[in-house]
């Protein structure tokens, strides 16, 4: 009598091991690494964005020319606005991953200590304590900023497509435009200061010999970016940019 063997059954989806990418994403360390990398991408964008925005102090020709270059960036290899849309997609992906990671890590932290701390940690900086609210403020600001100067939906004056200089002057000619922008830039500065330091530690760049340099870099970046961006509405208010 011949022996028969049962065919080996494949494991069900529920029994299969999750992929390495999913395992990485589900881990606390993985989320912190995602936050660190995406945070550095956004800081890089802010530095490049500030350099471009500084052209507003050289007159409408320079600034409008910069706005035109953004739309033809990568030409003739890339089609009209393709380079700009690639940059937008990368930035949006970084913002979403950063926000989702921050939210999920926050929820895990709350579950780990549901009653919370009675007192804040003695060495916790003001920037650290306000990271969550700072993130919310920046998220709301990004929405307003796009609706104001990209789509023109909430623009205070007559939005002029292809004339970013005049659009910026219109926005910062209103008191609420200045208040919204300056408050958001202060929140951004605190976010950058703490975020750069945290990213360096998470990604393994921190050490006793480099901690002082990393802290100085984080403080310098925060001050430079905050002062640089705030100088634009101040320039409009004082008539330097008009």
* Poorest-pLDDT segment among 43-57, 88-102, 148-162: 148-162
Q: Calculate ∠ Cα 232-54-165, nearest 5°.
A: 70
pLDDT band at 156 (very low <50, low <70, confident <90, very high): confident
Question: What's CA 157's distance to the chain center, in Å?
Answer: 27
Q: How many CB atoms lie within 10 A of CB 147?
A: 13
Compute CA distances 96 → 1, 34, 35, 38, 170, whole Å. 64, 11, 10, 9, 30
Q: Provide the whole-model pTM.
A: 0.84
What is the rounded distance in angstroms from the CA atom of residue 66 to the CA atom of residue 17?
Answer: 50
pLDDT of residue 197: 87
Q: Rounded mean pLDDT of 56-62? A: 96
């Amino acid at each position: 009598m011949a022996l028969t063997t049962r065919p080996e059954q494949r494991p069900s989806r529920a029994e299969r091991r999750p992929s390495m990418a999913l395992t990485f994403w589900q881990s606390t360390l993985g989320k912190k690494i995602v936050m660190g990398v995406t945070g550095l991408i956004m800081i890089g964008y802010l530095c490049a964005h500030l350099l471009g925005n500084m052209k507003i102090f050289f007159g409408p020709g320079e600034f409008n020319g910069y706005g035109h270059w953004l739309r033809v960036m990568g030409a003739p290899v890339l089609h009209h606005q393709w380079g700009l849309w690639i940059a937008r997609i990368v930035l949006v992906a970084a913002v979403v991953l950063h926000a989702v990671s921050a939210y999920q890590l926050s929820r895990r932290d709350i579950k780990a200590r549901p009653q919370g701390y009675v007192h804040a940690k003695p060495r916790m900086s003001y920037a650290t304590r306000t990271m969550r609210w700072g993130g919310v403020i920046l998220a709301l600001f990004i929405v307003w900023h796009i609706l104001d100067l990209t789509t023109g939906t909430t623009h205070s004056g007559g939005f002029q497509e292809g004339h970013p200089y005049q659009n910026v002057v219109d926005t910062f000619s209103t008191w609420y435009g200045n208040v919204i922008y300056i408050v958001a830039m202060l929140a951004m500065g605190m976010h950058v200061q703490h975020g750069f330091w945290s990213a360096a530690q998470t990604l393994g760049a921190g050490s006793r010999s480099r901690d002082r340099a990393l802290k100085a870099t984080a403080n310098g970046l925060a001050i430079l970016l905050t002062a640089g961006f705030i100088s634009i509405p101040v320039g409009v208010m004082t008539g330097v940019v008009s």
